[in-house]
Amino acid sequence: MAVNAANAVGKRRSLLHETRCQNCSLSSLCLPLALELEDIEQFDAIIRRRAPLKKGESLFRQGNAFNSVFAVRSGSLKQVTTEGSGDDQVTNFYLPSELVGLDGIDEQAYPGSVIALETTTVCEIPFDRLDSLSEQLPELRGQLYRSMSKELRDDRRMMRLLSRKTADQRLASFFSSLSDRFRRRGYSPYSFRLSMSRADIGNYLGLAVETVSRILGRFQQQELVEVSGREVNILNLEALLAQAQEEH
Amino acid sequence: MAVNAANAVGKRRSLLHETRCQNCSLSSLCLPLALELEDIEQFDAIIRRRAPLKKGESLFRQGNAFNSVFAVRSGSLKQVTTEGSGDDQVTNFYLPSELVGLDGIDEQAYPGSVIALETTTVCEIPFDRLDSLSEQLPELRGQLYRSMSKELRDDRRMMRLLSRKTADQRLASFFSSLSDRFRRRGYSPYSFRLSMSRADIGNYLGLAVETVSRILGRFQQQELVEVSGREVNILNLEALLAQAQEEH
DNA sequence: TCACCTCCTTGACCGGGATCATTGAGGTAT
DNA sequence: ATACCTCAATGATCCCGGTCAAGGAGGTGA
């Protein structure tokens, strides 16, 4: 018992240290992006630390009351919306520094479940506190507007992908986009591990799993990528980008 | 000349009268939704009146610098994004009270052109003024967050439509959604005029024009709707809704 | 009134990707 | 090891909706 208490204290301390915005390697991408050091402290003060989620655990479930948005700190998640009986739709993947839950503001409930694809840590940001802080900090407010606006833009891009692109182009886009997101986060844009299954990818891109498999095979023959299970090696990023943007 | 000047004054006066938020029949749907009367006046003060757009004229073009968001006052518009050479994509239709341009905040440029589908009037809301006003008026800020959040949610719904629904379901959804939007605005949910062409509808829904035509034909045979040119009569809204939501 | 648009409808055909079915491969508990 | 399970790859078949082609239909200007 005494040991447990000591552990708990030690754990809390290191957790606090690890998770202060001031020390966070993601701060140049995350919400506090535009803030001065002293403002970051204010922002930091409203953030709640969360125990890491294990693979498959949900951050929240569809329909849960909306209270907070979350910034991904490490790991990754998927957003899944269920309509009717068992017809799931993966509507987003979230990587570190990205904001989860913004689409719940309007109806004060989350419109989809968000599920960890691997061990994942997030920062919880109670929305009412964020809102009132954004009253005092115009930069924070601006950053919040920008985050939502960017998500809108990304959504439009996704719609274009879903309504106009072939299966090949969809996968090429998907890998290009992942590559770019990893690059921005300081990881290798050429070599990474997919945290989502083929089924998730297919569902997200509006394709059958079989199609995903087949096209990955084709991409390997064309020596665009090298895929082994969930390990991805991009061999020819330019060609992949070209594929992705090709006219029909 | 004198006559013209008199006309101009008269016109301006009536325009002012017509377009004050306090008198606007849309205020219960529009941005000032949550505001007290005196706050509405503040909000009203930052709004710029615009000359009506004629059919086919653009409110702004893709790539134009972002300065304002716009609230539709009457008429309707489409948002079109062009990528590469000539490959247009209709990403949205806007009806009265809806906000246009929110997806331009992030990159300070509009990601698509917005074009009037008929004679259309809009209220221009300079974003920097809106932002600073939102600092003083928490309700306005909340409403702005909600608007963006709602658009995110609608986008997710659209993605689901594009990636999982059959052509029939897409058109059923489209008509249901239009019907609902008209109802909320106090128009008949059963009988309305489409301001967009079949080509626009097809493009928006990710379908060929021919498919749109054929399915409209089928819907008429099934006595779900009655369509003559752009006049629509919904005969069986329940069945249409059922179609739209059907599992696969 | 006629020619000329643009928009819409309808028919015939074809292909990309879904679906169904089987096999392989990796991971884990017994 | 073995059995079991989930995930991925591959083959065979089918069908929805795209594409191509050819008319209507309505609107507009000379």
**Strand D footprint nucleotides (protein C-beta < 7 Å):** 7-12, 16-21, 26
On whether both A151 and A173 belong to a single domain, the answer is: no
List the single residue in A with minimal CA-CA distance to B128. Answer: A142
On whether both A181 and A116 belong to a single domain, the answer is: no
Which of B138, B157, B176 finishes a domain?
Answer: B157
pTM of the model: 0.91
The reply to whether A4 falls in a domain is: no
Find how far residue B103's CA is from the centre of its chain.
Answer: 14
The reply to whether B2 falls in a domain is: no
In Å, what is the separation between the CA of A207 and the C1' of D11? 18
Work out the mean pLDDT of chain A and round it to a whole number.
Answer: 91
d(CA A111, CA A84) in angstroms, rounded, equals: 13
On whether both B145 and B179 belong to a single domain, the answer is: no
CB atoms inside a 10 Å sphere around CB B54: 11
Q: What's the CATH code of the domain at A208?
A: 1.10.10.10
Which nucleotide has its C1' atom closest to residue B199's CA?
C7
Which of A157, A177, A201 finishes a domain?
Answer: A157
The reply to whether A226 falls in a domain is: yes
CB atoms inside a 10 Å sphere around CB A50: 17
The reply to whether B3 falls in a domain is: no
On whether both A138 and A185 belong to a single domain, the answer is: no
Quote the crossing angle between the two packed helices B37-46 and B138-164, to the nearest 10°: 70
| Domain housing B129 | 9-157
On whether both B220 and B137 belong to a single domain, the answer is: no
Q: What are phi and psi of A174, to 5 degrees?
A: -60, -45
On whether both B23 and B125 belong to a single domain, the answer is: yes
Split chain A (248 residues) into runs of 10 and give each run's mean pLDDT: 44 55 89 92 92 94 97 95 85 96 97 96 96 95 96 96 96 97 94 96 97 97 95 96 86
On whether both B218 and B141 belong to a single domain, the answer is: no
Cβ-nearest to B164 among A148, A206, A248: A206
Domain total in chain B: 2
What pLDDT score was predicted for residue A83? Answer: 86
**Per-residue pLDDT tens digits of chain B, which is 248 residues long:** 444 444 444 444 445 456 688 888 898 899 999 999 999 999 999 999 888 999 999 999 999 999 999 999 999 999 999 987 778 999 999 999 999 999 999 999 999 999 999 999 999 999 999 999 999 999 999 999 999 999 999 999 999 999 999 999 999 999 999 999 999 999 999 999 999 999 999 999 999 999 999 999 999 999 999 999 999 999 999 999 999 988 76
Show the 3-state SS of chain B: CHHHHHHHHHHHHHHHHHHCHHHCCCCCCCHHHHCCHHHHHHHHHHCEECCCECCCCEEECCCCECCEEEEEEECCEEEEEEECCCEEEEEEEECCCCEECHHHCCCCECCCEEEECCCEEEEEEEHHHHHHHHHHCHHHHHHHHHHHHHHHHHHHHHHHHHHHCCHHHHHHHHHHHHHHHHHHCCCCCCEEECCCCHHHHHHHHCCCHHHHHHHHHHHHHCCCEEEECCEEEECCHHHHHHHHHCCC
Asked if strand D contacts A225 at the CB level, meaning under 7 A, the answer is: no
By CB neighbour count within 10 A (0-12 exposed, 13-18 middle, 19+ buried), where does A29 fall? middle
On whether both B104 and B196 belong to a single domain, the answer is: no
Which of A157, A186, A216 finishes a domain?
Answer: A157
The reply to whether A1 falls in a domain is: no
The reply to whether A100 falls in a domain is: yes
The reply to whether B151 falls in a domain is: yes
d(CA B144, CA B134) in angstroms, rounded, equals: 8
On whether both B148 and B186 belong to a single domain, the answer is: no
On whether both B48 and B108 belong to a single domain, the answer is: yes
Picking from B173, B69, B153, the residue whose alpha carbon sits closest to that of residue B114 is: B69
The reply to whether B1 falls in a domain is: no
Footprint of strand C on the protein (CB under 7 A): A 166-168, 206-208, 210-211, 229; B 197-199, 209-210, 212-214, 216-217, 227, 229-230, 248
On whether both B76 and B93 belong to a single domain, the answer is: yes
Residues 171-210 of A with CB under 7 A from strand D: 197-199, 209-210
On whether both B140 and B176 belong to a single domain, the answer is: no
